[in-house]
Amino acid sequence: MTKEEAKKRIDELNQLTAYHAKKYYDEDDPEISDFEYDLLMTELKNLEKAYPEFMSANSLTQHVGGTVKDGFEKVEHEVPLQSLQDIFDFEELMAFDERVKKTLGIESLKYVVETKIDGLSVSLEYVEGKFVRGATRGNGLVGEDITENLKTIKTIPKILKESVTITVRGEVFIGKKEFEQMNQKREENEEPLFANSRNAAAGSLRQLDSSIAASRPLDIFIFNVQKSESLLFESHVQSLERLKKLGFQVNPVAKLCRNIESVIQEIQEIGENREDLSFGIDGAVIKVDDLVYREKLGVNAKTPKWAIAYKYPPERKETIIKDIICQVGRTGAITPMALLEPVKVAGSTISKTTLHNEDFIKEKDLRIGDHALIQKAGDVIPEVVCVVKEKRTGDEKIFEMPKVCPVCGGLAVREEGEAVTRCIGIECPAKLYRNILHFASRECMNIVGLGDEIIEDLLERNLIHNIADLYDLKFEDFANMKKDGKKFAQNLMDSIEKSKKSEFYRLINGFGIKNIGANAAKQLVKKYKNIDNLVKASIESLTMVEDMGEKRAQSVYEFFAQDQTKDLIERLRKAGVNMESEADVVLDERFAGKIFVLTGTLEKYSREEAKKIIESFGGKASGSVSKKTSYVLAGEEAGSKLVKAEQLGVPVITEKEFEEMIK
């Protein structure tokens, strides 16, 4: 390689590593695997070593890649939270051992081998035994104050068993089982899946709203004493034992090894048994046990000289894509799934994996009958890496997304700008639970008492197969559900009966038409007056409705054009559900285009009442503050939303000012 080529490649690697570090550390949304990133960093280090004149001060070989997120207070670490040098084979490990022993002038050395937890590194500060502050690693010197988020983690002791002042370092993570359950729930709700448990843990802790962290199954292992004013240790093993006695949950895999040969055996054993661990790892950490030796060895700008990380390569196996089928989620998302020739990868047998969407299949050029390489992303989620194209015979079949729902036969639609294809059939069994929950909600037909558990029970007993079945339910269907069954049953029957007289726009909103909420439903009712006029409306006519647009108009037209919808309307009509507007829907447009966010407790209005007032004037109530927010309506004990509004310069109004606006 010439000097010009070396400089060009170093510049490319600096740009690549900076980009991927930002995606990993700051956005918690990596685009490549840890292993691929580590290989880029290793190549950059080797080139900088060979051509030091081209080393940049901004190179990530010289510092950790994280930054402090807006909204968090900065925390300067008294003891830097450094990263570790990565190695990928035992030759590099032997070289590390020789280098350390030569520096110390000794012939033998004890090491501690620990699992390298795949999570987010944090520091915890305790004063006289009380937890006072927690922070992310950030760039190693300055991190983010995430104390409130860390307090939601049950395995972080708030008070230690001894009154000591100490700073420790640990790794926040989400266990394998908990991660799978969380992603399964997100898939059911059609939320983006986390690529791996590290993303999930980091994304949870780096939220300004601590309730998000509280809702996630976060855990922590402590692995190092950063600073202590009163506790003195001679070895790392000794410090871990004392941390346990103080009440910390320490890394459960930490073995003392007498020499480098024992270290290699332990690394191999961890690699062989990593699938049996309840938490994800991305390597093994090798540390000098003697703390005096650590002091003598010292540190580099970014890494300690007394520790190193051995990274396991992701295991990939070849298999055959036997078929591609489609599954329908609760909100109608149609997801392609690859059925595989069973193959054992990283300790478990894989026979199927999600292919996400149509674009993913086209990008990878996947076909039925293809040989493909499979790996586990983050040691948890099986994924197709690539196709082995040289093994194609010509008999492979190109997959096409279905035009109709494979469950109910309803229309399958992929809207412009979206990656997901959805079933829009109102009676689709796969999305029935979500449809009924929405239909019965307060914003729609307001069937009080018909919550998620009751709906689940009705579905399990095959008492409801579509929305109209709600109006055929009998007293006896509810009477045995609760201790006070008769009273509960009567109240629910009364609520179902009352819903028949709901305003017409609530029924339209309750249908769950794509892109149509309460305000759009009101505009439709205002123009068409009754269900028959709406069913007959053309796309051209619908686009003339205020704030409708072509996309919404298309959704409405396609929904009412389906036979499923027409059958449902007739059944609801026979049940006596209101399908017309007795009077014009009057919409005062004073808040048109305005977005309000409510925070704190109002004196005269509940949040729901204030929301309805805002919507009645054409405005929108949002749950989060952004640059698009028009006003934040702040009551007593306003929280983080008020802080964010002030940071973004969003106007904050009081309840009194709000009342002036609605007079």
Active-site residues, by number, are 116
Question: What is the distance between the alpha carbons of residues 160 and 243, in angstroms, rounded to a whole number?
Answer: 10
The total number of residues written for the chain in this structure: 663
DSSP 324-379: EEEEE-TT-EEEEEEEEEEEEETTEEEEEEE--SHHHHHHHT-EET-EEEEEEETT
The structure tokens listed for 152 are: 């939601």
Question: What is the distance between the alpha carbons of residues 421 and 556, in angstroms, rounded to a whole number?
Answer: 17
Report whether 547 contacts 523 (CB < 8 A): yes
Report whether 527 contacts 505 (CB < 8 A): no
The structure tokens listed for 279 are: 């938490």
Q: Terminus-to-terminus CA distance in the chain, angstroms?
A: 76
**What is the sign of the dihedral through the CA atoms of 143, 145, 150 and 156?**
positive
Question: What is the distance between the alpha carbons of residues 315 and 388, in angstroms, rounded to a whole number?
Answer: 16
CA-derived radius of gyration, the chain: 30
Percentages (nearest 5) of helix, strand, coil residues in the chain:
40, 20, 40
Question: What is the distance between the alpha carbons of residues 652 and 633, in angstroms, rounded to a whole number?
Answer: 6
Question: What is the distance between the alpha carbons of residues 504 and 580, in angstroms, rounded to a whole number?
Answer: 6
DSSP 229-280: SS---SBHHHHHHHHHHHT--B-S-EEEESSHHHHHHHHHHHHHHGGGSSS-
**What is the sign of the dihedral through the CA atoms of 39, 45, 50 and 52?**
positive
C-beta contacts of 487-494 below 8 A and 24+ residues apart: 488/449, 491/448, 491/449, 492/447, 492/448, 492/449, 492/450, 492/454
Q: Which residue has the tokens 């993303």?
A: 199
From 13, 34, 221, select the one nearest 124 (Cα to Cα).
221
* CB-count exposure of residue 331 (10 Å: 0-12, 13-18, 19+): buried
The structure tokens listed for 108 are: 């033998």
Beta strand extents in 62-215 (DSSP E only): 74-76, 86-87, 111-117, 120-127, 130-136, 142-144, 166-174
**DSSP structure class, residue 306:** T
From 239, 304, 285, 266, select the one nearest 103 (Cα to Cα).
304
Burial string for 347-381 (b: 16+ CB within 10 Å, else e) reads eeebeebbbbbbeebeebebbbebbbebbbbbbbb
Instruction: Give the type of residue at 244.
Output: K
**What is the number of other CB atoms lying within 10 angstroms of the CB of residue 263?**
25
Q: Which residue has the tokens 């201790």?
A: 483
β-partners of residue 115 are: 284
